Structure 1
């Protein structure tokens, strides 16, 4: 079990009157982390993958929420992005049930950020969780083992499932891509040409470390520049890639220069 640096940060925010929101890619350990934090406390766990839970939390009134929460002072809603209108529901809980510590996880920033930002303004602590960091890995495995694994980690990354199942890295990563990555992106972003998205991902992978030119990418992939820009934005919201700005002592030059894109 890997000790996550974020655990202490979140524990220090419990009981301070705001919802705690943990977002990040699927399968990086969000549910595991929150469950570790609240394991020794009486709590209510609501899994939004369950259709019944989604139905209960879809625009309930205050009295309905009261009956759902019961006597529980800690409430954990997992995969909150699956619940329509979740932002207003969380706002009611935070405003009307002051003694309840609300903890929320989400695996996609497509709808969740839009749903939560306005209703929970000033009412939430928001954190992002990513795969295991080098520091977390080295702390658990020790310096020598970590150094011996540098090449494997560069190749296969730090997803917890990958680290816990040596020898099965390729199969696990393929399952992650097929089961979660494209499924979430296609479900939440209304992409009409998934084959274009796949070509774009391949093109980005083949030029890691180079500056990205949207005009060049559009020619490579076979779509217009605006579509490329839109798809890259979708990939970033889906925690697949991130854009890195150029560095310059002149800030105006940073704005003008092309970005690099990393996975």
Structure 2
């Protein structure tokens, strides 16, 4: 729960909680079937420097995650507000995709050089990349490698334009 929006290694998690990897896999499967969490896989078209193996795990409800870690502090006092923001946006988009029975496929994208796109959506042969920022005061550059390689549209989602992203 503390690693929300980060890549998760089942092996590392198993070692941390002192169980085997299959047990971790079963626990996460149960949480998925109960609509507590969902996974995003890595997007790749077999480029050598792209990371596809690991998954990111998100919560359908930030409140459940906050309860698990015991943190109900106001948002302005939180050190994890960027991760909460990312989880909120991705979970709401996933809910819309599932509700509308869209044929979209969803991923994240990262390279070995640490270039990253928070959320990738593939629909009808078109690829869209989204980067989420709570603090929109910083100038953000999206990785050109992604947009050039995949002829993708990309957009930064922040507090000013998030509604158009979560309601499809």
| TM-score when normalising by structure 2 | 0.32
Which structure would you say has the larger Rg? 1
More strand by share: 2
Higher share of residues assigned helix: 1
